[in-house]
Structure 1
C-alpha cells in the first residue's frame, strides 16, 4: 500500500512543489513586504482556527475508517463525524464577528475574515481527502489535492493582481475549496444514508481526535509564535522577510514529507490492523529509511543554495533577508518533518493521543520562551535560533515518549550513511564558484544530486536500488 501511494501521490507532490515555489516567486513580487506580512499572519490565524475547531474530526475520519469497515458501521461513522463537524463549525462565524469588532486595520480585518471563512470549506475537503486516503482511493485523494493547490494559487494570484492585498492568497484557497465541496460533498453525504449519530462513537472519536487537535495547535504555536513575536517586537515588514525565507526553506521540504506522509500513514495503520506489531515494525523501518534518504539531502541542499535560490525566487525587497533565513529553516524543517510524519505516528497508531499533547507542549513552550528571550536581543536571528533549538528538542521528546506508546524502529545505519553522503555532497558543492542566480543554482543542484546519488546508489544504502527498481516497474506497468 505504501509504494502504491508513493506512486499515486507523486503528481500531487509535483504540483504542490511547483505551486509552493510559484507562491514565493509571485506573491513576494505582487505584494509589498507589509502586505506579505498580513498574509503570513492571516494564514497562521486561519490554520490555528481550523486546527482548534475542526481537525479532530478529520483525524478521526482517517484513523477509524478501517475499524468501522471491519465492524460494519461505516454509515454510523460518517453520520457521527459530520454531525460533530457541524457542531464545531458554527463557532467560525462568531470568530469572524469578533474580528470585525476588533480595533484592527481594515486590510488585516479583511485578511483574517477571509482566512477564518476559508477554514470551513478547507476542512470539508480535508474530510473527503482523509476518507479517500484511508480507503486506499489514491487517485481520488490526489485529484482533490491537485485541484485545491493549483486552483487556489491561480485564483489567489488573480485576486492579488486585482488589489486585494494580503487577503488574496487565503481567499483563493478558500474559493477553490468551496467549489470542490459543491462537486464532492453530495457524494460524500450519501455515505451517511442509513447511519445514525452514536454518542459512544462520538466519545471515542473525541477522546482520540481532540488530543490530536491540541497537539497540532501546539505545533502551530511552535511554527507561528516567531511571526507573532517578530510583529510585536519589530514590524510587519520583518515578518514578511521571515515568512519569505521560512517558506523557501520549509515548503520545499514539506512537499516531500507530505507526499510520503500521504502514502505512509494509511499504510502503517493497515499494517498494524492486519499484521500486528511485527508487520508494523517492518513497514515502519522501510518508510523511515526511504524518508531519510530523500529528505536529508534536500535539507542540506537548500542550505547550500540559499542565496542563488532567493535571487531567483524572492522579490527584491525580501531577497537578502530570505536568503539569510533559509539555511536555519531548512534544518528546522527537516527536524519538524521527521517528527511529524514519523516519530509522532507512534501515538496515533497506539491510540494514545494524549501523549501527543505532552510531546508537543515541551517544544512549544520552549519556543515561546526562547523567542521572548532572543528576539529582543538578536532580532531576526533570535527567531531562527529559537525555532531550530525548539524543533530539535521536539524530536528528542517525541522519540523518547514514542518508545513507550508504540515503538517505531529508527534505521540508524541509514541515518549515519546518509549523513556521510550529505557531508561529501556539501564539500563538493562548496567548490562551485558563486556565479549568482540561475547558473549557480543549477550547477550546485546538479553537482549535489550527482555526488549524493552516486554515493547512495553505489553503496546501495537502505536497499535503495531495489526500491527504485520497484517504483520504475510499477510505473511502467501503470503506463
Structure 2
C-alpha cells in the first residue's frame, strides 16, 4: 500500500486539466460566444445551488471523518447528499417561473447540480479513505467523459442545454470508480448521531459556501444582465480556464499535503504537522506567484491559440486582473482557508465569504455597467484580495499556520522581474514568435530559480505514512 503523494495527485490533475482545456476549447468554438454565454449562466446557477445545498456537507464530512467510524459516516454522508439533491431540484423547479427560466434551462441546471454533488461527494469519500488511485482515476475519467459526451451532444444538438446535460452525464460516469471502491462498506447504515455531528460542524458553512458561490458568480450574472451573453461568453471561458489552472495545483497541494498535516494534528504530532504546513505554504505561494505571472504574459496568446479571435479579442484587457484575482484565491482557498479543518473556524469562513460577496456585488454594480467585462474582472480581483486578507489575518489568531516571509517576498520579486523582463522583450521584438520563445525561456528560468532557492524540488519526493485504506 502506498499513501497519496504530490506526484500522483498533480499528475492526475494535469491530465484532467488538459482534458478540460480541450473540452472548453471545443465547446466554445462550436457554440460561439453568445450560446456559450448561456451555458456559462447554467453553470453559474449550478455552482450557486451546489454552494448552498451540498458543498458544506463535503467539508463537514472531511472535518469530522475518523477511520474508526468510517462505515456509518460514509453512509450518512451519502444519504444527506441524495436528500440535498432531491430537495434542491424541487426548489429549482419551483422558482423557475419566477426567474424566467425555460423548462429546458431548469432541467439542465438541476441535472448539472445533482451530478456535480454526487461526483464531488464520491471523490471526497475516496480521498478521506486514502484511495489515491481511485481519486486519480475519477479525475481523469471526468475529463474524458465530459469531452466525449459533450462532443457527441453538440454533434446532435449544438445548444447550451444539450451541453449542460452531457456534462452532467460525464460527472455521473466519472463517479463510478469511487462508488465501486465503496463496495466494502455496502452493509454500512447511516446514523442519526453522525448526521447531527455533520450538521453541527457544517451549518455555518451552508451560508459561507453559498455566499461564496454567489460572490464567485455575481460578476457573470451582472455581465449577462448589463452587457449580454455575447460578452459573458468570452469573459467566462477565459476566467474558467485560468481558475481551473490554479485549482489544478491547489487541489494537489490540499490532497497531498494538507490531508497529511491534518492527520498529524489529529494524532497530536503538531511539530510534524507544522513542517508539512510550511511546505504547503511554500508550494501555494509558488503556484500563486508563478501562475499569475504566467497568465499576465501568456494569457492572451494562449486564448488566441486555443479559443480563436472571437474569444481572445476581449481577453487582452481582463487577463491581468483575473490572474491576480485567482492568485489571491489560491492562497485563501488552498492554504489560509484550510484552517477550518484544524480548529473551529467555520464562522471565520462565513465572514470571509460575506466580505467577498459584498465587495464583489458593490464593485460589480458600480463597474460592470460602465466597463463591462473589465469591470467584472476588477471587482473579482478586489473581492478575492479582501477575502484572502480576512482569512489570513483572523485565521492565524485561531490556529497559527506557518507564514514564511522569505518565500512570500522572494517569489513575488522573481515573478515581477519575469513580467518586467517580458515587457522589455515585447518592446524590443514586438508580438512575434521570437518574443514568445524568449518569454518561455525567461519563465523557465524564473521557475527553476524559485524551485531551487525555496526547496520545491524536495516536495516531489514527499512521503508520509498515513494509515491504511489505500489500494
Q: TM-score, normalised by structure 2?
A: 0.90
Label 1:310 to 1:116 Cα distance change in 2 as closer, same or farther (>3 A): same
State whether residues 284 and 330 of structure 2, in contact with CA within 8 Å, keep that contact through their aligned partners in structure 1. Answer: no
State whether residues 339 and 399 of structure 2, in contact with CA within 8 Å, keep that contact through their aligned partners in structure 1. Answer: yes
Give the alignment partner of residue 453 of structure 2, picking from 431, 449, 461: 461
Label 1:310 to 1:436 Cα distance change in 2 as closer, same or farther (>3 A): farther
Q: Which residues in structure 2 correspond to 1:336-375 (within 5 Å)?
A: 336-375=329-368
Is 1:177 the equivalent of 2:171?
Answer: yes
Task: Name whichever of 118-127 and 332-341 sits farther off.
Answer: 118-127
State whether residues 306 and 324 of structure 1, in contact with CA within 8 Å, keep that contact through their aligned partners in structure 2. Answer: no
Query: Which ranges in structure 1 are unaligned for 5 or more consecutive residues?
Result: 473-479
CA distance in 1, matches of 2:241, 2:78: 36
Task: Name whichever of 315-324 and 138-147 sits farther off.
Answer: 315-324
Aligned partner of 1:95 in structure 2 is 91
CA distance in 2, matches of 1:4, 1:319: 38
Q: Which residues in structure 2 correspond to 1:225-374 (within 5 Å)?
A: 225-374=218-367
CA distance in 2, matches of 1:129, 1:453: 31
Runs of 4+ in structure 1 over 6 Å off: none
Is 1:446 the equivalent of 2:441?
Answer: yes
Q: Deviations over 1:204-230 (max 9, x none)?
A: 211222323422222212211111111
Aligned partner of 2:29 in structure 1 is 29
Is 1:156 the equivalent of 2:150?
Answer: yes
| 1:432 partner SS | helix
Label 1:379 to 1:127 Cα distance change in 2 as closer, same or farther (>3 A): closer
Q: How much has 1:181 moved relative to structure 2?
A: 4.7
| 2:268 partner SS | helix
Aligned partner of 2:204 in structure 1 is 211
Q: Deviations over 1:224-267 (max 9, x none)?
A: 11111112222111111211221243222222222222223322
Is 1:402 the equivalent of 2:398?
Answer: no
State whether residues 312 and 438 of structure 1, in contact with CA within 8 Å, keep that contact through their aligned partners in structure 2. Answer: no
Pairs aligned (count): 461
Label 1:17 to 1:53 Cα distance change in 2 as closer, same or farther (>3 A): same
| 1:404 partner SS | helix
CA distance in 1, matches of 2:448, 2:399: 35
State whether residues 258 and 277 of structure 2, in contact with CA within 8 Å, keep that contact through their aligned partners in structure 1. Answer: no
Query: RMSD over aligned Cα, in angstroms?
Result: 2.6
CA distance in 1, matches of 2:16, 2:28: 18
Q: Greater RCO between the two (CA within 8 Å, min separation 6)?
A: 2
Aligned partner of 1:11 in structure 2 is 11
Is 1:49 the equivalent of 2:49?
Answer: yes
State whether residues 292 and 414 of structure 1, in contact with CA within 8 Å, keep that contact through their aligned partners in structure 2. Answer: yes
CA distance in 1, matches of 2:157, 2:441: 39
Q: Deviations over 1:332-368 (max 9, x none)?
A: 0010111011111112321331221012111211111
Q: Deviations over 1:170-208 (max 9, x none)?
A: 32221123334566536536515253422x322221122
Aligned partner of 1:166 in structure 2 is 160
Q: TM-score, normalised by structure 1?
A: 0.88
